[in-house]
Structure 1
Amino acid sequence: MNEVRTAARPLPQTVLREATDRRLLDETIRRGRATRAELADATGYSRPTVSEAVKRLVAAGLLDATGLQETGRRGRVGTFHSLGARAGWVLALELDQSGPHARAADLAGRPLADHRRPPTAPGDVAALVASARAVVAALTAEVGPHRGPLRAAGVSVANPVDPRTHEIVALPGTPFPEGVLSPAELLGDLGAPVLVDNDVNLATLAEHRAGAAAGAESFAYVFVGAGLGVGLYLGDRLVRGAHGLAGEIGYLPAAGPVTLAGELAAAGFGRSDAPSNDIAAALAVLDRGPADPALAHLTGAVSRAIASVAAVVDPELILLGGPVGTHPALLPPVRDALRGLFPGPTRLAHGALGTGAPLQGALHLALDHARAAAVAPQP
């Protein structure tokens, strides 16, 4: 029987150009500055291809010529190119119980400005909206006139997000009920795409890109703060679940109809004015250490959550994060308790990015989109 083979169709020219421009933009950003010859050597593209792509990137304002290469030799002198001064910028916004926190960065991820507002009253949606808009407006006024267009905004929320609709999912007993709103409506017309994801997912992304899980193919990020959550990075990809609910470990059953979050609340870690953990109370218990009998309740709940994750997905690394999870007194007793709950060789450590991981993840989300959109053909 003769086998009929079809020749692979060549990619459209626009797709090839877009891929080339993105690769050269990323390489220039990685190096800080580069000549055409250096870019050709680093990427394997021909020098004519690089030259044409650099012309496109300069014409789009994404690269600027920033000086001549001094070689000390006779002949042609190369020109250095760097990220354009007005190539654009991105915005990251974190919404949780600690109050809106926003950061602006250029397309290389270098911070340009940072603004934070105090927390609003639990349940006061109008105050949260006004505060978030104020912090974004302050950043826009400070950065916008000098850095070119806002290309993307990444938003971290302390609630699950549906990966298909990108809408925030309302769950019973959510620790952040005032945050169940549409970020696009919250921020108004920014003139740029608004990308939203759960804070634990974004912290997981940040730790993989530039934290304690850099290079790991599988790891879990266990967040302990106003709520409980876990981010799963498996098979070199972030797992969100079909409905954005992967990792909502606060809803794991503890005893009878009581959830893990409910057990912590009953042990004295719940707030009286909101359906969430009392971060200050948990930190006070950790500061007192083994002398406080409540530490065993906190340690037990966290270690059982970690054992559940380890038993189901067996990651090579588990990181503790969040305002409570990053406390240095939590890791040793959790590690000890885990040995009696799960037989596997579980490696447990603190995240490297601390409580700033969700905001850093929102920045990565915005940067990925902004760089791709910047080199995409205009309609």
Structure 2
Amino acid sequence: MTDENVLRTLMRHRRLTRAELAAATGISKPTVGESVRRLGEAGLVVDTGERTAGGRGRGRVGTYYALAADIGTALAVSVAPEGVVAERIDAHGEVVARAEEAVARPARPEDVAAALRDAATGTGGPLPRLAVVSAADPVDRASGRMIHLPDSPFLLGELDPHDVLAPFVTGPIIVDNDVNWAARAEREDARDFAYLFLGEGLGGAIVSDGEVRQGAGGLAGEIAHLITVGPHGRATRLIDVFDDLGLRQADSTAIDVDRLLAAIAAPAAADAQRVREALGEAVGGVVAAIVALTDPAYVVIGGPWGTHPAILAAITSATTAQPRHVPIRAARRTDEPSLTGARLDALDRLRAAIVQT
């Protein structure tokens, strides 16, 4: 336990003396000194060669210790239709290398696999100890392979990130859906909430007792086919609402985000209000179903059009009159939310792996 405390403290600080370690951990200096010696012999902690300014009335000279440079890194990866991003992170949580590879549309599995390999090698350095992958398609819980569902706009197919990344990682490879990772990035201290991603694609995640619920096959939260209220008050699938409003991309079920944002701010106020109300009612129907089945404390709305103030206001208005009303709020993580969630998980797993060494 002492060694773990010392290691985790050095993960939060770049360098510390034994006295500083003792103060940060609440462990006695002699006990910390023995721990530093053991960790040094194990190759996990090193003397940096730096010394405090001691002597001549300023106290004893202190030695600075730090994690060994070769203690290991982790890979955080985002696989999305616009491309692949790979980041190599160290035990301090710093991104030490980043590589990006574009993918043409439609995103064919062989093209995505090639981009994934190039991004993994592009981060350089020794092989990471593990990888955490965020994928834009649903992910089979048992196999980790990506699944193509009807009306999924990205067509990544049955790509298997495990097979692709195995030569580039020495340890485990964890793969999950991008919306689940975005929800994890929003988790903070909350234990029960729902997350809806509203962008080119539609997705949801349920966080219960602090954990993202994946379902038997990993398909929990796939909301595109959920029955809700259509623009004319009729029951319809959520994905079809955007077809009725003329907000899909050509020859695709993907939502045209630019056209949608233009529609809710149209010069004709009545037209803009009609679209906002239709979207608010449609998403509000999804919220009602989620609240009835999962009882979240609140619902987080993310995605490039989901976080727009007019959309949030419309959803809030539509849900306020529902029998079981819960608060609606915008996602706080808006810059690469899925990669952020994957990065946070990769850091936790890397630190745990180092401690267990």
Provide TM-score, normalisation by structure 1: 0.80
Partner of 1:178: 156
> Would you say 1:103 and 2:87 are equivalent positions?
yes
SS of residue in 2 equivalent to 1:329? helix
Partner of 2:221: 247
Matches within 5 A, 1:258-297: 258-288=236-266, 291-292=271-272, 293-297=274-278
1:363 Cα deviation after fit: 1.0
Partner of 1:16: none
Maintained 8 Å contact 1:253/1:260: yes
Matches within 5 A, 1:145-294: 148-192=126-170, 193-208=172-187, 214-254=188-228, 258-288=236-266, 291-292=271-272, 293-294=274-275
RMSD, aligned α-carbons: 2.8
Greater Cα offset, 73-82 or 87-96:
73-82
Q: Spell out, residue by residue over 1:288-307, the C-alpha distance to the aligned partner (whole angstroms, 9 max, x if none).
A: 48542333332222222122
> Would you say 1:360 and 2:335 are equivalent positions?
no
Residues 179 and 109 of structure 1: CA distance in aligned 2, closer, same or farther (over 3 Å): farther
Matches within 5 A, 1:330-349: 330-344=311-325, 346-349=326-329
Partner of 1:68: 51
Mapped partners of 1:149, 1:188: distance in 2: 10
Residues 288 and 93 of structure 1: CA distance in aligned 2, closer, same or farther (over 3 Å): farther
Aligned residues: 347
Maintained 8 Å contact 2:73/2:88: yes
Residues 339 and 106 of structure 1: CA distance in aligned 2, closer, same or farther (over 3 Å): same
Residues 239 and 167 of structure 1: CA distance in aligned 2, closer, same or farther (over 3 Å): same
Maintained 8 Å contact 1:159/1:199: yes
Greater Cα offset, 99-108 or 172-181:
172-181
Unaligned 5+ runs, structure 1: 1-18, 209-213
SS of residue in 2 equivalent to 1:177? coil
Unaligned 5+ runs, structure 2: none
Q: Spell out, residue by residue over 1:161-188, the C-alpha distance to the aligned partner (whole angstroms, 9 max, x if none).
A: 2334333344333233215310022335
Residues 24 and 287 of structure 1: CA distance in aligned 2, closer, same or farther (over 3 Å): farther
Maintained 8 Å contact 1:155/1:194: yes
Mapped partners of 2:35, 2:140: distance in 1: 37
Partner of 1:328: 309
SS of residue in 2 equivalent to 1:249? coil
SS of residue in 1 equivalent to 2:301? strand
More helix by share: 1
Mapped partners of 1:57, 1:175: distance in 2: 50
Maintained 8 Å contact 2:137/2:156: no
> Would you say 1:35 and 2:17 are equivalent positions?
yes
SS of residue in 1 equivalent to 2:259? helix
| Percent of pairs with identical residues | 36
Mapped partners of 2:85, 2:323: distance in 1: 38
Q: Which runs of 4+ in 1 moved over 6 A?
A: none
Provide TM-score, normalisation by structure 2: 0.85
Mapped partners of 2:156, 2:131: distance in 1: 20
Mapped partners of 1:288, 1:23: distance in 2: 58
Residues 37 and 237 of structure 1: CA distance in aligned 2, closer, same or farther (over 3 Å): farther
1:273 Cα deviation after fit: 3.3
1:156 Cα deviation after fit: 0.4
1:257 Cα deviation after fit: 8.4
